[in-house]
Structure 1
């Protein structure tokens, strides 16, 4: 049964190996270049140069490239689910070839289990190798940038891509088992996986561990550190506040000294028509106006030292879902498929 599964899967496996080889060659080249430039950056700092400017140049040279690669790696589990998982059983059911195997000495549950394990482990290996190479190539940049919790970066490093691949493959296999047609199963797998990948990082991940919560005064200087003011709805919010060595998961609206949200009309007056003071900074007079209102925000954040705990917790969720899907698939094959 294992040999038969390999014979059916070998074309897809060779295509995946070819793609992984090309990606590996590029990532090794990129990793060596990153380390060469990282050493140059350190030498400039140690020799008394402008460390801040050197750091900005080093990060600016590689951050966008690594972000694109992280986005590409995020597509790998989805592709494995679509092209390896969805056709795994759906193609057999669609063509009726499953009946031939079941009329031999192989039980239907063994047939399903072997196919799931052989191809599923291969999918996890592909995602794991790609993740390991990207993690190695990007490690000097990640250490200096300190943004490992960002949605795209977190999902493209270390353990998470392996768990994503296991889930995407199991999801595609079960959808193919239920739909029994290859192309619809591939499309549904892509949609379902995209929904889960949006919900878990944005809704579930911030609550995997209780955040640290602090109150931060919003002086003019603090407001000028933000990346944005206001929102589409006109709410009195400050966007893009940061905490050193931490992932900010939530920021409240601007609050007055008694803890109430700042009135929208007062925010609009400062934001749209502040008194002229000649102040400089990102938000100039608006920051001075808001800074004089004795405002604060409540920040919730996760310290960077919790990164590996989040990797384990989120990977555990995806692997648990994969196991549940596999168990459901075995039950479906044994009880429902004819």
Structure 2
């Protein structure tokens, strides 16, 4: 059975190995480049002002590159599910070759377990190796950015991508078994797993563990430390804050700006500070706008996860994907017995 699986799957394995070699070469080069830039950044940290500028330049130089690398890694399980999982059984059913296989001494379920185990192991090894290489390459940047819970970055580091690979493969195999058509199964697998990749970080991850709460006064310094003010609808919101005393914390929810009595600040007052603040000559990211908003005695209520929970979240989310993949595998085994 192992020899048969290798014969049927060897081209995919060789293609995966070649892809991993290319990925490894690119990430090794990127990792060394980031480390050289990180050393240069640290050498410029003689005083606070120079260090802040060097930090901004270091992050700006690699932010987009690492974002694209993480997005590329996120597509790897999609490819695995669509091109390895969906055709695994669907092609046999479509071509009618399953009749020969299922008339041998090996039972249908044992045949499916052997095929899925062999291919799933290859998928998880390929994706896990790529994820560990990216984690290594990005580690100096991640230490400086202190944002390991970033929506895209979190799912492309350490062990979570291994769970992605298993679930995508199990999803593709199960869909192929039910649809019995290769191309439609491939398309549906890709669409569904991309939907999962969007849904889990935004709808499931924030609720994997109870969050901590904090109230953050909006001082001039706090506002200037944020990444954005307002929204396309004009709502009085602020984003990209940091929790004092909790470096690297993941803020999962930020309330609108609120007055001292807990009411959302009036949209007119917020708009006036945003569009026509009194000129004070203040510096900083938001300048006079920050001074105007701070004078309104505002605050926001935060829900956040401390940075120390990073590995519990990694384990919990990976476990979630593995359990979901195992359930799909059980469905596939039940189905193949009736096919």
TM exceeding 0.5: yes
For 1:286 and 1:63, locate their aligned partners in 2 and report how far apart those are by CA, in whole Å: 27
Correspondence 1:169 to 2:169:
yes
Name which of structure 1's ranges 323-332 and 278-287 shifts more when overlaid on structure 2: 278-287
Provide the secondary structure at the position in 2 that maps to 1:301: strand
CA distance 1:222–1:32, shift in 2 (3 Å): closer
For 1:47 and 1:275, locate their aligned partners in 2 and report how far apart those are by CA, in whole Å: 32
Name which of structure 1's ranges 262-271 and 249-258 shifts more when overlaid on structure 2: 262-271
For 1:56 and 1:310, locate their aligned partners in 2 and report how far apart those are by CA, in whole Å: 28
Provide the secondary structure at the position in 1 that maps to 2:337: helix
Q: Map 1:78-89 onto structure 2 (within 5 A).
A: 78-89=78-89
Partner of 2:192: 192
CA distance 1:96–1:126, shift in 2 (3 Å): same
Provide the secondary structure at the position in 1 that maps to 2:261: coil
Partner of 1:149: 149
Provide the secondary structure at the position in 2 that maps to 1:293: coil
Partner of 2:60: 60
For 2:144 and 2:235, locate their aligned partners in 1 and report how far apart those are by CA, in whole Å: 34
For 2:272 and 2:24, locate their aligned partners in 1 and report how far apart those are by CA, in whole Å: 55
Partner of 1:241: 241
CA distance 1:28–1:271, shift in 2 (3 Å): closer
CA distance 1:55–1:82, shift in 2 (3 Å): same
Correspondence 1:332 to 2:335:
yes
Instruction: After TM superposition, give the deviation of residue 7 of structure 1 in Å.
Output: 1.0
Contact 2:148 2:248 (C-alpha < 8 Å) held by counterparts: no
Give 5+ residue unaligned stretches, structure 1: none
Instruction: After TM superposition, give the deviation of residue 108 of structure 1 in Å.
Output: 0.6
For 1:134 and 1:272, locate their aligned partners in 2 and report how far apart those are by CA, in whole Å: 42
Q: Map 1:202-281 onto structure 2 (within 5 A).
A: 202-243=202-243, 244-281=247-284
Contact 2:219 2:294 (C-alpha < 8 Å) held by counterparts: yes
Correspondence 1:8 to 2:43:
no
Instruction: After TM superposition, give the deviation of residue 211 of structure 1 in Å.
Output: 1.6
For 2:26 and 2:332, locate their aligned partners in 1 and report how far apart those are by CA, in whole Å: 38
Provide the secondary structure at the position in 1 that maps to 2:241: coil
Correspondence 1:295 to 2:283:
no
CA distance 1:62–1:221, shift in 2 (3 Å): closer
Instruction: After TM superposition, give the deviation of residue 246 of structure 1 in Å.
Output: 1.2
For 2:271 and 2:127, locate their aligned partners in 1 and report how far apart those are by CA, in whole Å: 49
Partner of 1:124: 124
Instruction: After TM superposition, give the deviation of residue 239 of structure 1 in Å.
Output: 2.1
Give 5+ residue unaligned stretches, structure 2: none
CA-atom RMSD, angstroms? 2.0
